[in-house]
Structure 1
């Protein structure tokens, strides 16, 4: 018996067919079947009932499944534990990232990571969560980084970084003379917001509702489909907004905008990594995710 066979067994059980497992594991169906037969020979018992269209676990297979799952999890934990010691890795990572993470957060972290691991090449696609999941499922991406948790039967999701949205105003705005303001004062002014359904908008609206404020009661003068468009509208004096300070570092450095803390509200949000349950990430990908977990988003 070896770990590869246990991994195949787990994947067949999870996917419900040899052909689906073969696709996930990048193997031919006969090769998967042969490895499962070898594992059954080792234990001296059948692990799957093959009489139906969708294979089912035998009693022995049901008993083995939690041990196979523990073995996969142990390998993942081992990779995480060892990732900080591996500095000569050579690999090419393909990842998907949502807009705020991909355009404003990760670029500032790729430099320090590249100095630590110069032989790891990262190819990043900036896209929405649905597209990220689709490309992970097709094995076109190793993993994805998203701004809100999702429920997907084939995916595992874990927290990697935390961000906090703040009030963003143009420098000539009446609130720009203050470093902290109350939420009650903020909601009196016109807002420029991201479109409904965006992660940024969702975090803001959830916090407002927790404070007893209905989002539709805001004086929203404009809804825009990108953070860049929102920033341009705020800079032009069309309204104020709630964004990640990471996204306006350039504008604040040029004294075009100001970041203000809202003292009686906290717009914190978690960033997540998402990957296929049945796929073990390469050690280079584990190393990159472990690096992100130890980064502080000091706004």
Structure 2
């Protein structure tokens, strides 16, 4: 029998997880089925790969030699899937994905329509939740992948940039700053602000850039700290303050003439949106196609 990629994948997971049972859970297989596949791989190579003791699982010398090749095989298979997805003419399936607030409520809705017309046989089930919840559901195999506003650092997950975004100054219609041709940070910080709550991705991006420009965020005149972008927008519309958020979230309000989007001289509140998924699972072709589609999009102001 030829060398089996599936068996290499199982071996790599067992070695990485240090447990047959953990690998079985990640692969949605029974533990005896995982054991049988490892035994088949050992029969193929004619060498013992793993030693199970009462305390822990250890690699043999042959197992340690095989491990980097198994890892490379998984990476090559993933790259192959991504490369060939671009040539797929008939993709179908149901994608279960999670997205953080800004992405799920303000970015994706405008992009899902055109994607659906291009790939009518792919259905998408979207959950809008925070990053911690997305990671929990990915780990529990309830989501294929997630879209978040900051890179995720987790030993079992891959985090990759998919889209770029830039926060802007948002002011109510008729605000004094709208008459200025050149807006400096020194001018902006004299006005009251409505901010997202501490710890939010939007707030972190804003504060990082302010510090880079030599301004301490605690010096802002923050009249309100609110837990959602929708609440911030409503407060700005009501004239309670100005803010710095993604222009994608105020597209409708801007078209209605309720707010205006402005640039602050020398300030660039740039950020990336990231995809996150389990290292141990290959994304289906439909998911790879969707992520490639997102990478081709430009978020317009």
TM-score (norm 2): 0.97
- Using the alignment, how far apart are the partners of 1:96 and 1:52 within structure 2? 39
Identify the residue that residue 172 of structure 2 maps to in structure 1. Answer: 170
- Using the alignment, how far apart are the partners of 1:178 and 1:114 within structure 2? 42
Report the 3-state secondary structure (helix = DSSP H, G, I; strand = E; otherwise coil) of the residue aligned with 1:262. Answer: coil
Runs of 4+ in 1 over 3 A off after TM superposition: none
- Superposition map of 1:79-228 within 5 A: 79-178=81-180, 180-228=182-230
Aligned-pair distance for 1:205?
A: 0.3
- Superposition map of 1:219-258 within 5 A: 219-258=221-260
Aligned-pair distance for 1:179?
A: 5.6
Report the 3-state secondary structure (helix = DSSP H, G, I; strand = E; otherwise coil) of the residue aligned with 2:263. Answer: strand
Give the number of equivalent residue pairs: 299
- Using the alignment, how far apart are the partners of 2:13 and 2:289 within structure 1? 24
Identify the residue that residue 73 of structure 2 maps to in structure 1. Answer: 71
Report the 3-state secondary structure (helix = DSSP H, G, I; strand = E; otherwise coil) of the residue aligned with 1:124. Answer: strand
Aligned-pair distance for 1:229?
A: 0.2
Inter-CA distance 6–180: structure 2 relative to 1 (3 Å threshold): farther
Identify the residue that residue 48 of structure 2 maps to in structure 1. Answer: 46
Aligned-pair distance for 1:156?
A: 0.8
Aligned-pair distance for 1:181?
A: 1.3
Q: Are the aligned partners of 1:22 and 1:32 in contact in 2 as well (CA < 8 Å)?
A: yes
Gaps of 5+ in 2: none
Aligned-pair distance for 1:180?
A: 4.5
- Using the alignment, how far apart are the partners of 2:277 and 2:7 within structure 1? 21
Could you give the per-residue CA deviations for residues 24-80 of structure 1, whole angstroms, max 9, x where no partner exists? 111111000000000011111111111143212111111111111111111111111
Could you give the per-residue CA deviations for residues 194-244 of structure 1, whole angstroms, max 9, x where no partner exists? 000000000000001111111100000000000000000000000000010
Report the 3-state secondary structure (helix = DSSP H, G, I; strand = E; otherwise coil) of the residue aligned with 1:151. Answer: coil
Aligned-pair distance for 1:150?
A: 2.2
Identify the residue that residue 7 of structure 2 maps to in structure 1. Answer: 5
Identify the residue that residue 270 of structure 1 maps to in structure 2. Answer: 272
Q: Are the aligned partners of 1:179 and 1:260 in contact in 2 as well (CA < 8 Å)?
A: no
**1:296 paired residue among 291, 295, 298:** 298
- Using the alignment, how far apart are the partners of 2:28 and 2:71 within structure 1? 20
Aligned-pair distance for 1:172?
A: 2.0
Report the 3-state secondary structure (helix = DSSP H, G, I; strand = E; otherwise coil) of the residue aligned with 1:192. Answer: strand
Report the 3-state secondary structure (helix = DSSP H, G, I; strand = E; otherwise coil) of the residue aligned with 1:271. Answer: strand
Q: Are the aligned partners of 1:149 and 1:272 in contact in 2 as well (CA < 8 Å)?
A: yes
Aligned-pair distance for 1:182?
A: 1.3
Inter-CA distance 104–135: structure 2 relative to 1 (3 Å threshold): same
